Structure 1
Amino acid sequence: VRCHSSGTSPRQSPSPSHNKQAAGKVSASASAPASTSASASASESDLVSHHLAAAPTSPTTPTTLATMPPRVPIPPLSILPLTSIVRSLVITTISSTRLLTPSLAALSIIAHAQGPILSPERNRYLRYLIKKTIYKQFCAGENDAEVKQTVNGLLKLGYKGVILGYAKEVVMNESQAGKLNESHAGKLESSGDNDAAKACIRNEINPWAQGTLRTVQMTSPGDFVGLKFTGAGSQALFDLSKKTGPSAALKEAIDSICDLAAARDVRLLFDAEQQAVQAGIDAWTLRYMREYNGKTPGKAVVYGTYQAYLKATPSILASHLAAARKDGFTLGVKLVRGAYLGSDPRHLIHDTKAETDDCYDSISASLARRSYGSVLKPAPGETEFPPVDVVLAGHNHTSVRKIRALRDEQAKNGGEQIDLVYAQLQGMADEVSCDLVLAGRVNAGETKVDIPKAYKYLVWGTTGECMKYLLRRAQENKDAAQRTRDGRKAHGKELRRRIKAVFGFGPRF
């Protein structure tokens, strides 16, 4: 039975809504319904046909759904093409063995190389090798045509949309971040050096703005665009580190990006970055939320990113919720565990993974319920929870299942639900993403069930522009060794299942 058709186009309802949904809990592996009807989804009908064909029959006992054997659950990874399975298996195998350490060292050298041999931008053979392996695993493409092909492939699998980002960024080590406040290199636009300021605008701010505007144009209504301020270069780094507003040229660039996104019904995710600049990013995020999220009641255009591995995150989020209630706008929240473990000061981060997990799960539950709790406590004097739109970005299957169970209970009781989507990085946690996609397929068209909306986060840019992003993905695999091993086992199991199916030792999906 083929399950590569999602039945309905994921683009039919691109804009977020805040409807009330009543539902009973239905999982992708739930038992078949007691009767067939015209309202059954295409994937359900295919499964029924599969079992009717396989079930033993007799002349006196007609085959009915009631006498069918239990349905074989659809393996989540069965929706992926074989090439993706094999490539993921190879990469997760390297990432979960001793090969990762030398691989990380090589990637780091390539990511910072300028010479003709080790720079992907100057060595076409190296560029080809990288593009066909790790680039293809994690990135969308180098141009509009390649990005469109990648995105269409995800939509055909059943994803509701994508989160697309322009790969250009600046990643500093802790020493560089510590020296940032002492540096005057970024103080260009406000200095008397007009030539240097013009060069900064021409060579850093304008290319970043053009790349980000192009990213917004590549997306469709209902999609997201990830926006990384440090990609705008030295002036942005200086402004953020000093916690000032963006300089005139940078403000003009950000305004144009926000205006275009709002006009195209595309949502913007302001990415979290290293702690040296994060306080400035938080201030800019609130500034643009006030301006753009208040224009359409109940809908966020701009989202901030909140990292659960930081001890200060609950109080920061609580202060932003208080600002949203006071100023009357919807708070856009992208919740992540964190991606700068290797560069952020260790004392700012939770002492154990269990503490980070508890912080993430507690905050996500509070957001879904729109109520404060033991971790996300209200700011002084606050009691009312403002409207929120949420992107739960995470690769932890347990956390995803917890929030799905909560939303199933809300739907069952007819409670109001916030607009919430799930997101995983392209090339990672496919077993989590595909499980969400399958649940969306099985529940499509139902009125009494919560239908999860799955998105993939991916970046585009030249191979050279994407190298720092790829290095961070590799480092993340190292930091999450157990999850990487789980991914390797899941892809290995799926590959073995397909091989057995070829020889008739199992069902084909």
Structure 2
Amino acid sequence: MQRGVSYQKLLDGLQQRTWNLPFYRQQNTIASGGRHSFAITGHRFTQNETINFDDAEKACQSKTTLELLRSSLILNACSVETFVKHNYKILSWTRRLMGRSVFNAMMRPTVYKQFVGGDDFTSFQETVSRLQTVGVRPLVMVTLEEDVKDDGPDADQLFDRNLKIMKDCMEMTAALGSQNPMMQIKPSGLFPLALCKSVSAEIPFPSSEPEVVEKIANSMETSKEVTKLGNLSTIEIAQLNKALNRIKQICKVAMERKLMILVDAEYTYLNPCLNLLALAMMLHCNGSEPLVTNTYQNYLKETPNILLKDIELAQTHGVTFGAKLVRGAYIYKERALASEKGYPDPVCETFEKTTKNYNRSMDIMMEKVAKHPGKFCVTIASHNEDTVKRGTNKMAKLGIPRSSDQTVIFAQSYGMSDFISLSLGQAGYMTYKSIPYGTIDEALPYLSRRLNENSSILGGVRRERKIIHAALGRRLFSFN
């Protein structure tokens, strides 16, 4: 697999070339300190302008008519439950039937173009530049989807390859020229899954064992190997030290490039280990700015309580704290696993209770941001319009500036909820799109997984299609 090569090619292109879009006018956001002074078709958006998600023309004006038509057709397909449930089988069968070349030729201008930023410098930088014209910044996504066998003879080589991919992508992200660059990382791609399970079982609540967090952070800081952690075996301790060395290299690039990294959360039986690593990375990296952000899944009942404990740990150690708030992507699998293993279901019973959890976590973080400027950062990663509106209203109530860098961030997936992202960006809020980079073959497994895991967000597809249809109607009407 030549994935690392494609990342390096993109990085080389970014360092050697300057991309220019003659059909868009981009303001110099870096020179103005990233204060969201953007212009499209002559309109300047100010901090005092009221955000309006119903303004279809404004929300869609950065897209061509063909792009809007494509979005309408694809989002219509995404609203079909059968397709969502069986999309990977359908796409795989179609590829076998058509052949790879014909299939790729069909996918590139449609599904791939809708959800992926590109697979080379030109295409990816064009995507980023177009988003920046409407005040939306890139949150680059590494799509590491393949499973790695824990006991395979080549496991370390694969983990090291994943490390190289992440580091190359971090360098590329820093070179994009965006103010406050950000990237998502998946630490579980750097060490065996069995080790992640073992550490999670040994340290189920990391912030309740601060001495363990300190031990892991000290290992990252000094390269001093961990000799004992609970009941981990000698082999597992050796694997852990290799993992910490790889994560230390990620931290080094982040600190050198001033690059914010968002640590992904996964299943409940893996999350304690990932939480432990994220907290240790905060102690190691988060001095005066929140370079490391942990992900909190609010469909889990205990998430706000865990968030409070993690905040307490960070404050005790005098470091900045970052939280990315999501509803969650593994609801059906988590419930099935709880039923199979016979333990209490960790997932909120209803969507409304999940929303209540999310709102509580948002309030906790917003109030910390307002009370301790520069010490906290929250990313509202949501496709839910009501959640986003609540976030903007909470900011206004607490007096948090829209353009205050690295305090309150809004984020959505590339190709979805564009009317929310573009409206937020044009109104001056710190707004990011999570943008996958890679070839069609690399991206399809990722896109399929995300579509299945995030099927709950597709309830907003009808609303987005309505916005798109209104914009298309105005354009077509203006031609007559």
Q: Structure 1 length normalisation: TM-score? A: 0.70
How many angstroms apart in 2 are the aligned matches of 1:418 and 1:125? Answer: 44
Distance 1:238 1:462, change over 3 A: farther
C-alpha displacement at 1:206, in angstroms?
A: 1.9
Indicate if the aligned counterparts of 1:25 and 1:409 stay in contact, CA closer than 8 A. Answer: no
Indicate if the aligned counterparts of 1:5 and 1:156 stay in contact, CA closer than 8 A. Answer: yes
Indicate if the aligned counterparts of 1:148 and 1:218 stay in contact, CA closer than 8 A. Answer: no
Partner of residue 209, structure 1:
163
Report SS of the residue matched to 2:266. coil
2:138 aligned with 1:162: yes
C-alpha displacement at 1:314, in angstroms?
A: 1.0
2:431 aligned with 1:458: no
2:96 aligned with 1:117: yes
Partner of residue 461, structure 2:
484
Report 1:22-101 matches (<5 A). 26-28=49-51, 75-97=58-80, 100-101=81-82
Partner of residue 281, structure 1:
274
C-alpha displacement at 1:392, in angstroms?
A: 1.1
State the AA in 2 paired with 1:501: S
State the AA in 2 paired with 1:304: N
C-alpha displacement at 1:12, in angstroms?
A: 4.5
C-alpha displacement at 1:459, in angstroms?
A: 1.1
Partner of residue 231, structure 1:
189
Partner of residue 381, structure 2:
393
Distance 1:278 1:329, change over 3 A: same
More displaced, 7-16 or 262-271? 7-16
C-alpha displacement at 1:91, in angstroms?
A: 1.2
State the AA in 1 paired with 2:86: A
Give per-residue Cα distances to partners, 1:25-61, cap 9 Å, x unaligned. Answer: 531469xxxxxxxxxxxxxxxxxxxxxxxxxxxxxxx
Distance 1:92 1:211, change over 3 A: same
Indicate if the aligned counterparts of 1:269 and 1:303 stay in contact, CA closer than 8 A. Answer: yes
2:352 aligned with 1:354: yes
Indicate if the aligned counterparts of 1:225 and 1:267 stay in contact, CA closer than 8 A. Answer: yes
C-alpha displacement at 1:455, in angstroms?
A: 0.9
C-alpha displacement at 1:4, in angstroms?
A: 5.9
Report SS of the residue matched to 1:306. strand
Q: Structure 2 length normalisation: TM-score? A: 0.74
Indicate if the aligned counterparts of 1:168 and 1:461 stay in contact, CA closer than 8 A. Answer: no
How many angstroms apart in 2 are the aligned matches of 1:15 and 1:256? Answer: 31
Distance 1:335 1:15, change over 3 A: farther
How many angstroms apart in 1 are the aligned matches of 2:395 and 2:407? Answer: 11
How many angstroms apart in 2 are the aligned matches of 1:404 and 1:413? Answer: 10
Distance 1:258 1:123, change over 3 A: same
Report SS of the residue matched to 1:310. coil
Indicate if the aligned counterparts of 1:127 and 1:463 stay in contact, CA closer than 8 A. Answer: yes
Q: What's the % identity of the aligned pairs?
A: 23
Report SS of the residue matched to 1:247. helix
Give per-residue Cα distances to partners, 1:100-149, cap 9 Å, x unaligned. Answer: 414642424656x9x9937x9x8222233223221211112223443222
Give per-residue Cα distances to partners, 1:152-181, cap 9 Å, x unaligned. Answer: 22112321x211011112589xxxxxxxxx
State the AA in 2 paired with 1:349: V
State the AA in 2 paired with 1:223: P
Counterpart pick for 2:427 among 419, 427, 439: 439
Indicate if the aligned counterparts of 2:369 and 2:376 stay in contact, CA closer than 8 A. Answer: no
Indicate if the aligned counterparts of 1:321 and 1:385 stay in contact, CA closer than 8 A. Answer: no
Partner of residue 292, structure 2:
302
How many angstroms apart in 2 are the aligned matches of 1:478 and 1:223? Answer: 28
Report SS of the residue matched to 2:29. coil
C-alpha displacement at 1:478, in angstroms?
A: 3.4
Q: Structure 1: which 5+ runs fail to align?
A: 17-22, 31-71, 173-184, 189-195, 373-382, 441-451, 504-509
C-alpha displacement at 1:350, in angstroms?
A: 0.8
Distance 1:333 1:215, change over 3 A: same
Report 1:245-264 matches (<5 A). 247-264=240-257
State the AA in 2 paired with 1:238: A
Partner of residue 180, structure 2:
222
How many angstroms apart in 2 are the aligned matches of 1:493 and 1:364? Answer: 32
Distance 1:367 1:145, change over 3 A: same
Q: Structure 2: which 5+ runs fail to align?
A: 1-22, 37-45, 200-231, 337-344
Report SS of the residue matched to 2:183. strand
Indicate if the aligned counterparts of 2:384 and 2:457 stay in contact, CA closer than 8 A. Answer: no
Partner of residue 33, structure 2:
13
Distance 1:480 1:171, change over 3 A: farther
Indicate if the aligned counterparts of 1:139 and 1:458 stay in contact, CA closer than 8 A. Answer: yes
Partner of residue 211, structure 2:
none
How many angstroms apart in 2 are the aligned matches of 1:462 and 1:87? Answer: 20
Higher helix share: 2
How many angstroms apart in 2 are the aligned matches of 1:461 and 1:28? Answer: 33
Distance 1:324 1:171, change over 3 A: same
Indicate if the aligned counterparts of 2:118 and 2:438 stay in contact, CA closer than 8 A. Answer: yes
Report 1:335-374 matches (<5 A). 335-345=325-335, 347-370=345-368
Indicate if the aligned counterparts of 2:47 and 2:427 stay in contact, CA closer than 8 A. Answer: no
Give per-residue Cα distances to partners, 1:164-204, cap 9 Å, x unaligned. Answer: 011112589xxxxxxxxxxxx52x4xxxxxxx44x1122x1
Partner of residue 414, structure 2:
426
Report SS of the residue matched to 2:328. coil
Largest Rg, 1 or 2: 1
State the AA in 2 paired with 1:479: S
CA RMSD of aligned residues (A): 3.4
Report SS of the residue matched to 1:80. coil
C-alpha displacement at 1:276, in angstroms?
A: 2.9
State the AA in 2 paired with 1:279: P
